[in-house]
Structure 1
Amino acid sequence: MNARAAIKGILLALLAGSAPCHPALAETEISSFAFVHEDGSLTVDGHLIHLYGIYVPPTDHTCTTFIRPMPCGTRASLALEFRIGGDFVHCMERARNADGSITASCTAGGEDLSEWMLQRGWAVALPDAPFQYAAMEKIARAKGIGVWGIALDAPTRPR
């Protein structure tokens, strides 16, 4: 064995010894129907989940009166509940919080719920969120929708 091969073997042994002893944490998937809370968090399969990368600011409390029983909540939480509808929610755990809740990336009907909330102006991107989340927030703010104002379609008259 030449000196170069011996040094390479020693370096590999040192690198292997410096690797963490615990196995890599596997991402945990949580899937079920979801209950939407007024703060925009979800209960999915008994777990309290906060959507990854966003903060849902408090908005006016309102009730949808044309549905019985009347669902009430903040405008943002009602929008999220409307988006989820009866879809199954799939969440990939990203972090466990000190209070026992989970921060997760969640989808419903194949659509990322954090992105959906940002695109409609119902959420604010957190500082550590992906770049595209901040861009989506800025677009919604420029359009004046969601928490940034309510966009109304102008009525059209038939000619």
Structure 2
Amino acid sequence: MTRFPLVGSLFLAVGFLSGNLPAVAEPLVGIASVVDGDTIEIHGQRIRFNGIDAPESAQICSDASGRKYRCGQRASLALAELLKAHRPTSCVEVDRDRYSRIVAVCTAGGIDIGEWVVKQGYALDWPKYSAGFYARAEREARTAKRGMWAGSFDKPWVWRKDH
């Protein structure tokens, strides 16, 4: 899914006319294994989804009844089910993080994985990195009380800071 199709098309047209076409990264494609709710591995490469943040595996949330559960683990399991049902996974690198992991937009079966995880309530739009790209998916999950939105939780970036 292209975020700015008109801008991208204009950029390529200008590049074509000037003879300076940018190098386009080849997608990394393969069977993904889940590291956590916002990180996968393909062919030994760690890939973090661009613009989202999922709870850590040790993070505890409360469900609608106030019962505690490992929301990071639940996010990982849901992601694993999605990726098992829609193979292969394809990721296009957009950046590298401070740990040198690939930061990418990934799809599986035509589904934007970052958007899906946020829409299911297993991750949040991370405005610091997303420019609000997944904000609509987050609002949809919050309104429907899906995943973490059914109960209470700390935002993953706040939880990490405190732990």
TM over 0.5: yes
Measure the CA separation in 2 of the matches of 1:40 and 1:61: 15
Which sections of structure 1, spanning at least 5 residues, go unmatched?
Answer: 1-22, 63-72, 151-159
The alignment's TM-score, normalised by the length of structure 1, stands at 0.67
After superposition, the Cα gap between the structure-2 partners of 1:94 and 1:74, relative to the gap in structure 1 and judged at 3 Å, is: same
How does the TM-score come out when normalised to structure 2?
0.65
2:66 aligned partner: none
Question: 1: CA distance between counterparts of 2:23 and 2:134?
Answer: 25
Q: Where does residue 84 of structure 2 map in the other structure?
A: 85
> 2:46 pairs with 48, 65, 69, which one?
48
CA distance in 2, matches of 1:108, 1:102: 17
**Higher alpha-carbon deviation: 113-122 or 53-62:** 53-62
Report the residue type matching 1:125 in the other structure: D
| Structure 2 Cα separation of the partners of residues 126 and 91 of structure 1 | 19
Give 1 or 2 for the bigger CA radius of gyration. Answer: 1
Per the TM alignment, residue 149 of structure 1 is displaced from its structure 2 partner at its CA by 1.5
Q: Distance in 1 between matches of 2:96 and 2:24?
A: 13
Candidates 18, 31, 36, aligned match of 2:29 = 31
Tell me which residue corresponds to 1:7: none
Aligned to 2:135: 134
What is the number of equivalent residue pairs in this alignment? 120
Question: Residue by residue, what CA displacement relative to the aligned partner does 1:100-154 show, whole Å, maximum 9, x if unpaired?
Answer: 201000001111100111111111001131544101101101111111127xxxx
SS in 2 for 1:37: strand
> Could you say which structure has the greater relative contact order, defined with CA pairs below 8 angstroms and 6 or more residues apart?
2
**1:98 Cα deviation after fit:** 2.7
CA distance in 2, matches of 1:37, 1:108: 16
% of aligned pairs identical? 31
Q: Distance in 2 between matches of 1:148 and 1:91?
A: 27
Q: Which residue of 1 aligns with 2:116?
A: 116
